[in-house]
Chain A
Amino acid sequence: MATSLPSSEPLHTVQLDGLVVLKIIKHCRESYPVDVTGQLLGLDVDGVLEVTNCFPFPSSDDDEASAQYQLDMMRCLREVNVDNNTVGWYRSAHLGNFMDLNLIDTQYNYQNSLSAQSVVIIHDVSKSAAQGNLSLRAFRLTEAFMKAYEKKTFTTESMIKNKLTLSNIFDELPIQVHNSHLVTALLHDLDSPVADANRLPSLTTFTSTQKTATLAEDNAPLAPNLEVLDLELDPFMQKNLENLLDCADAQQQEHNNYQYWQRSVAREQTKIQAWLTKRKQENAQRAQNGQSLLPEDEVNSLFKLPTEPSRLESMLLNAQIHNFTKQLNQFAGPSLGRLYSVQELQK
């Protein structure tokens, strides 16, 4: 792989600055439901990739314009002493539907051209909103996959040779969040809630729940986030299952393609066999008559086996389905917890 720094260790964690987390959330939230991307800047130190800043990309640009945008932005940021080193990119996703060719392509380019230590950070907007828990994941492509992608062949034998399964396309790295001292001081400042007892509104009507929500937010910005205790599970599961079905449909099409290829190969093989036997018979006859033998290896120029379709798409779809099912599983755990705690409350 090109241009990897000689003294860098393999990455094992990604450390994000608090600022980066907030910026990514803000950008992804503002452009819902369009998927957006942006660039990560930072440095890698001792196997930990520190991301200190980021900036968003304009979404509707072609390659040249966005390259220019990148250069301009980096130049301006350099003047204000921001780390000028690109370490990866981020992307927004919705309910886990991020595994596609685009992702792999871009990440491959990053890992190949910039440094072997680039990561892609996926922020799942819908999942964060539904569960109240921030969903940020960091991925990089594995070595095996990079090698296979270079050759651009994804036949079955090459996949067996490189031992590529759907689970080792990506490496997932744990993410940590890091704050500077000033920011820590700010957070401590924000944490002191002030609620005046004489101004509490009454909760007698259900329509007034709106007011209390804002009251809580006004007074205690860091009050505990209790959205996670919401009991609604239908929207999330419904969307997830819909996505899963779409994926399964696409996978079915891929399978059909592959089977079609297999059948056509089988047909070609039988034709070749038939031709070979005929040739042999002819040769036997000619040997009897004393004539020269016809070559038998014309077979290779007469019949061409159709090329095997790339299994990459199929593998990606598998990985995507795997992701969806994993999400469903993960969602089920807390849901069961919530259900049982409500049951306890009722007793």
Chain B
Amino acid sequence: MPLSTKSSTLHLTSTSGVPAFRPFTCVINPVVLFSILDHYLRRNEGQERVIGTLLGVRSDDGTEVEIRNCFNVPHQENDSEVAVDMEHHRAMFELHQRVNPKEVIVGWYATGSQLNSYSALIQDFYSSEVAPFQAVHLTMDTDLAVKGTQTMGLQTHISAPVGVSAKSGNCMFLPVPCEVRYFDAERSGLEILATAKDSDERTASLLSDMDHLEIAIAKVQEMLERVSQYVQQVLNGKEPANNAIGRYIMDSVSVVPKVDATSFEKMFNSHLQDLLMVVYLANMTRTQLSVAERLNTLV
């Protein structure tokens, strides 16, 4: 990332491919968050923060970066210098490439929310890996020191050169907006994890399908209760009416399709019949199987 020496104002150099005025967002996969926390838990004695590499994909015009995976990189940091184990970084990257060739290095992460000069040095190193794009730097506040922030102080930055001279240590970190995005399959996994957070030993067992259905229906019931309570309060005059919410509720209720009774009966019955027939066939096959087992062992 060549530094411009023409002026001393801070701006992103145009050769990096991401002009300063186009929006640049990061999308993070929840696996990454959990990985980072796990790495932090397993750090060596005396290490205050851990760093690692972020892998992901970039959208075609370079404005959106999706962070999909990460791995830990051992590093030592003391008062005078910082050392990053580059061999390990390269080896791990190669191994990951074999499994998932689409993921490339997009940046690095560090725990702890301070950005000091070592961060700048490491940022430089990663920028050379990620060239010609900007390296994304992600921090997570694992000390839980900053109160009132969402998702444990998760922040992403890209760096910009600052200052007159071209020294690599001078750069400023500009925050970029980031969000955590989920896929459907991961949501069910995340839900199971979330039920674990309420229990004492922080464990939860997997649910069967029926249990899952029961819980979902109970939740819908609870939501309906809350909404009807709110409407009741508004009618009694205890709460100020909010037109937007009222309209939204009315729309939601009207989405329920109102089918006339006879055609609904017909649909219901045919659906039920299909289901029961398949269940009957399945049970018949099972009985056949168990009879066959007994016969086999008798022979």
Mark A residues whose CB is within 8 Å of B: 15, 17-19, 21-23, 25-30, 52-53, 56-59, 61, 69, 72-73, 76, 79-82, 125, 128-129, 131-134, 136, 156, 159-160, 163, 165-166, 174-192, 197-198, 200, 202-204, 206, 217-218, 221-222, 224-229, 233, 237, 241, 244, 248, 311, 318, 321-322, 324-326, 328-339, 341-343, 345-346
Report yes or no: B216 in contact with A321, Cβ–Cβ below 8 A.
no
Report yes or no: A177 in contact with B292, Cβ–Cβ below 8 A.
no
Report yes or no: A339 in contact with B204, Cβ–Cβ below 8 A.
no
Q: Contacts of B201 on A, CB cut-off 8 Å?
A: 178
Interface flag for B271 (CB, 8 Å): yes
- Given the known A-B contacts A69-B95, A177-B203, A178-B203, are A337 and B30 also in contact in the complex, defined by CB atoms under 8 Å? no
- Contact partner of B188 (CB less than 8 A), chosen from A27, A72, A132, A204, is A132
- Given the known A-B contacts A22-B189, A187-B194, A329-B282, are A200 and B99 also in contact in the complex, defined by CB atoms under 8 Å? no
Q: Contacts of B14 on A, CB cut-off 8 Å?
A: none
Chain B positions 249 through 269: 1 when the CB is less than 8 Å from some CB of chain A, otherwise 0: 001101110010100100010
CA gap between A178 and B206 in the complex, in Å: 11
Q: Contacts of A331 on B, CB cut-off 8 Å?
A: 209
Interface flag for B172 (CB, 8 Å): no
Q: What's the least CB distance linking B197 to chain A, in Å?
A: 4
Interface flag for B84 (CB, 8 Å): no
CA gap between A15 and B192 in the complex, in Å: 13
Number of residues in B with C-beta < 8 Å to the partner? 99
Additional pairs, 8, CB under 8 Å, beyond known A61-B98, A202-B251, A241-B278: A134-B185, A134-B192, A182-B142, A187-B197, A189-B150, A229-B216, A326-B286, A339-B271
Mark B residues whose CB is within 8 Å of A: 29-31, 33-35, 37-44, 68-69, 71-74, 85, 88, 91-92, 95, 98-100, 142, 144, 150-152, 179-194, 196-197, 201-210, 212-213, 215-217, 219-220, 242, 244-245, 247-248, 251-252, 254-256, 259, 261, 264, 268, 271-272, 274-276, 278-279, 282-283, 285-286, 289, 292-293, 296-297, 299
Q: What's the least CB distance linking B266 to chain A, in Å?
A: 13
Q: Contacts of B208 on A, CB cut-off 8 Å?
A: 133, 330
Report yes or no: A69 in contact with B98, Cβ–Cβ below 8 A.
yes
CA gap between A341 and B217 in the complex, in Å: 9
Report yes or no: A178 in contact with B202, Cβ–Cβ below 8 A.
yes
Q: What's the least CB distance linking B270 to chain A, in Å?
A: 11
Q: Contacts of A178 on B, CB cut-off 8 Å?
A: 196, 201-203
Report yes or no: B88 in contact with A166, Cβ–Cβ below 8 A.
no
Q: Contacts of B192 on A, CB cut-off 8 Å?
A: 21, 134, 177
Nearest neighbor of B181 in chain A, beta-carbon distance: A217
Q: What's the least CB distance linking A183 to chain B, in Å?
A: 5
Q: Contacts of B40 on A, CB cut-off 8 Å?
A: 182
CA gap between A56 and B98 in the complex, in Å: 10
CA gap between A215 and B108 in the complex, in Å: 29
Report yes or no: A134 in contact with B196, Cβ–Cβ below 8 A.
no
CA gap between A200 and B184 in the complex, in Å: 23
CA gap between A56 and B91 in the complex, in Å: 15
Report yes or no: A56 in contact with B152, Cβ–Cβ below 8 A.
no
- Given the known A-B contacts A29-B185, A79-B74, A332-B275, are A322 and B209 also in contact in the complex, defined by CB atoms under 8 Å? no
Most B Cβ at <10 Å: residue of A133, A163, A176: A133
Report yes or no: B74 in contact with A80, Cβ–Cβ below 8 A.
yes
Q: Contacts of B261 on A, CB cut-off 8 Å?
A: 346
Q: Contacts of A156 on B, CB cut-off 8 Å?
A: 296, 299
Report yes or no: B193 in contact with A21, Cβ–Cβ below 8 A.
yes
Q: What's the least CB distance linking A326 to chain B, in Å?
A: 8
Report yes or no: A339 in contact with B213, Cβ–Cβ below 8 A.
no
- Given the known A-B contacts A185-B152, A198-B244, A200-B248, are A225 and B38 also in contact in the complex, defined by CB atoms under 8 Å? no
Report yes or no: A22 in contact with B205, Cβ–Cβ below 8 A.
no
Which 7 A/B pairs are nearest by Cβ-Cβ distance? A203-B251, A328-B282, A325-B282, A80-B72, A81-B42, A58-B98, A133-B212
Report yes or no: B44 in contact with A81, Cβ–Cβ below 8 A.
yes
Q: Contacts of A129 on B, CB cut-off 8 Å?
A: 184-185
- Given the known A-B contacts A58-B98, A132-B188, A197-B242, are A76 and B209 also in contact in the complex, defined by CB atoms under 8 Å? no
Q: What's the least CB distance linking B40 to chain A, in Å?
A: 7
Report yes or no: A182 in contact with B91, Cβ–Cβ below 8 A.
no
- Given the known A-B contacts A200-B248, A325-B282, are A79 and B88 also in contact in the complex, defined by CB atoms under 8 Å? yes
Report yes or no: B283 in contact with A174, Cβ–Cβ below 8 A.
no
